[in-house]
Structure 1
């Protein structure tokens, strides 16, 4: 399942005590945040649960029925006990004949919700809710098994790293032929970028969409259409082509659930991206993230994290250690939610200013550090963007060096760099040239990881040790200085602008009004089934 390297990566001589300390500090920093996630719920977690129970569709203004139903329950009885108990209690009291009709009636204020007080009624409502959600979890399980069968029959790409290419026109019916063409040209993973701003929508659009700005809306129908198209081209090519989208933003849990049900293979799902770069409330993000990663774990989806984004706002040399800290935190949060090593597509990027002396050697040190700290994780290696100036010849050269660094350090997933990146929307011919660049480096230097052994105390080894030491110092400082005992120091560090130079206080940002503290008798059958691990 995992895009592991062809040969063992070259070794850095890191002090194992320092590595263990880094992980121990990450766990110490992450545990209070997990406690917060386990003691709160959000409107999107509750809506995702209803989607797993089969509620779909939207009203004439395209507001999803899950939004109507969750809002009605929240207005009448709150979300502290979970949405499913009041909903299935209402169904048992025959407020409506089925879930969809109940949501439709709730949108007009025609349903009375309550939290049943009698034990027998409470138990019956919860039993019914669990029975309704279980088919959604089973569908995720079935899709995972379907992927395993297809990979077993068609095979994985014969090379590493997997070639990851972006397609997103705004129109799903234009995306499909472009995605199939990209696969025929050599792409192993197709990423459909979301329309700009979708992460700030507190609802998931419905149906197939034909308009979007700089991307295509993430919807269940768009997922279904693209997966079917890639299955078709997979059979044609004789290798399984993977599909990626984004489980981030205000609807992270819902998109994760839809991705699991429609057999997406990778999802962008970073622990702090939405907080830092979309100003989404930190508590909302961490609660939503834990649920979404539980779904990804169950679905066999590889997550891609977004550490590369830090280097678009902070200097890639000075802030290199913050990337390592974020990778360690993403590893901790991911494993706590049930993800395995092969599902942790931790991110890093080739973003050092090419005018810096020894920039390529620095890039090798940073990439090799990530590869050795997370040897079983399918690292996602991101191309230069920040320093692409419009000089397409220099840009093409930078992308070649990026591809070479990936070959030398054993990266797992390589996002194809475009020489027109950050200048114009790339033409299809730009994509073809970029893929030629990747293919040349893979043919000429694909096994270079076998031969690249940095000297013991040379430049690469010394720089990697320095970055790791700085990461440990930062973790140590956050855990001891950022917050009083009993609080969550990571949230304080995020508020202080420690990551990506963005200050995001825990009581600010978008979506905080969608967070609720769980009551002692909170019940969510989706979380229960996911944590039980039933198949």
Structure 2
């Protein structure tokens, strides 16, 4: 039953326009690869480790190999053919040994043809299939553990961030949070990692305002939360970030280490990290296919628009972005049940009727995407440092989440905008959420906005404005709209931004078994 009485024809028009706006970008993404996509492919094929002897610091072997392939013969045909041809020609047993030989200047990469190309493609497919089968086993293991241990008994799930910079300290905080009631632990990334064009190796203990996303850190946190899950009697989910210049690689590592959720947005890196738009769309298409295979719920980043633009005036841009994220996700094979679309409680609380507008916006998202595990983000922009006011505002946010049936509720901190929250702050914040969820119960059953009331009218207004904006984007082009500052007030031209030099046009004969196997669901 629709509480907002949305016109199905208007909703259908919005989705049709989003698909039309996205189509040229999807075509561009299909026609290009990136250094990150090729590195992610080789990570699936089994390459690990780093060159620890380099004078500039550790360099992952996968970077060494892909950079050398590009230098010798280009990436227009992909990395798989040159790499697996080099393995055969030089009688080398493993990709790591190949990387070591590459660093020593002993390997010359070429694009093979004929029978040699067919042998290289087959060998690459076998290796990549081995990696994908590990991803499949992890997905099956998650399902088994959820069945055995149990899911959280209520929705929304309580989502809490830890971020000490030290993975071992993060584990301590995460375990405490889970025992206090958190259902999802998100390890926020070290500041600036999204702009690194490589993934650090090993466990790390020196992040700034966050902890580096590495395969070993993923493994450590997942193993720790498996133990805590048994203790608390519910499966604790682990979240990290598949975004930035290494989006595809981190998506692969998340699948290999059984992460459950990953932040992954079609435009966040473009708008808020100034990463080249083409690079981002190519990388996010591969990463979303990877998430679909791994059964990982993505979290999109629409909440960020409202930290730079006004949450009332720009409400429709959130809806537009959600519709675009939905289409890009579906096109990459990600189903609704893995589509954690984002939105936020960011209206200035001093505005009259602000809470009613928040309810309208949240309910609109819920009704537009009924099968999606929506991620509802807490107030940040208008937190003033008055911790008592902030705690009350977080309570209103929690109540809005219950009333409108949100799926994932990120815990708001009363010390937002004052300090990096302490464990005690997190404890009070989780207690706030638990009180509201317990006291409100199934209050959403009784929440029925008046058909001609303020909430319904506001929702219709925002949807109408979203349709109008999508119509303009179809005419102007999505990449031009991004360049003009349509979203979050950031202007990002398609030929500018970080990572632009990592984008490569595919040649006829481009080979990447990982893309084919992700699209078809193949296992060998």
Instruction: Report the TM-score range of the alignment, normalised by the length of the smaller protein.
Output: over 0.9
Q: Distance in 2 between matches of 1:230 and 1:465?
A: 42
2:60 match: 64
User: Is 1:433 aligned to 2:425, yes or no?
Assistant: no
Map residues 19-168 of structure 1 onto 2, 5 A cutoff.
19-60=11-52, 61-94=57-90, 96-117=92-113, 119-168=114-163
User: Is 1:452 aligned to 2:441, yes or no?
Assistant: no
2:495 match: 507
Match of 1:306 among 296, 301, 306: 301
SS of corresponding position for 2:293: helix
Match of 2:186 among 187, 191, 213: 191
1:216 match: 211
CA drift of 1:35 comes to 0.6
SS of corresponding position for 1:531: helix
Question: What count of residue pairs does the alignment treat as equivalent?
Answer: 519
User: Is 1:274 aligned to 2:269, yes or no?
Assistant: yes
Q: Distance in 2 between matches of 1:442 and 1:98?
A: 53
1:422 match: 417
Range with greater deviation from structure 2 (108-117 or 523-532): 108-117
TM-score normalised per structure 1: 0.96
Which segments of 5 or more consecutive residues in structure 1 lack a partner in the other structure?
A: 1-7, 483-488
TM-score normalised per structure 2: 0.98
Map residues 229-378 of structure 1 onto 2, 5 A cutoff.
229-378=224-373
2:521 match: 533
SS of corresponding position for 2:59: coil
CA drift of 1:168 comes to 1.1
Q: Distance in 2 between matches of 1:511 and 1:456?
A: 49
CA drift of 1:98 comes to 2.4
Q: Deviations over 1:38-93 (max 9, x none)?
A: 11000000000111111000111211000000000000110000001001111111
SS of corresponding position for 1:263: coil
Q: Distance in 2 between matches of 1:185 and 1:97?
A: 49
Match of 2:472 among 467, 472, 477: 477
Q: Deviations over 1:16-44 (max 9, x none)?
A: 10000000000001111111111100000
CA drift of 1:95 comes to 5.7
Work out whether residues 95 and 102 of structure 1, in 8 Å CA contact, stay in contact via their aligned partners in 2. Answer: no
Match of 2:164 among 165, 169, 180: 169
SS of corresponding position for 1:170: coil
SS of corresponding position for 2:240: strand
Q: Cα RMSD between the aligned structures?
A: 0.8
Work out whether residues 95 and 111 of structure 1, in 8 Å CA contact, stay in contact via their aligned partners in 2. Answer: no
Q: Deviations over 1:287-332 (max 9, x none)?
A: 0000000000000000000000000000000000000000000000
Which segments of 5 or more consecutive residues in structure 2 lack a partner in the other structure?
A: none
CA drift of 1:96 comes to 3.2
2:461 match: 466
Q: Distance in 2 between matches of 1:378 and 1:428?
A: 27
CA drift of 1:238 comes to 1.2
- Distance 1:498-1:316 versus aligned 2 partners, 3 A rule: same
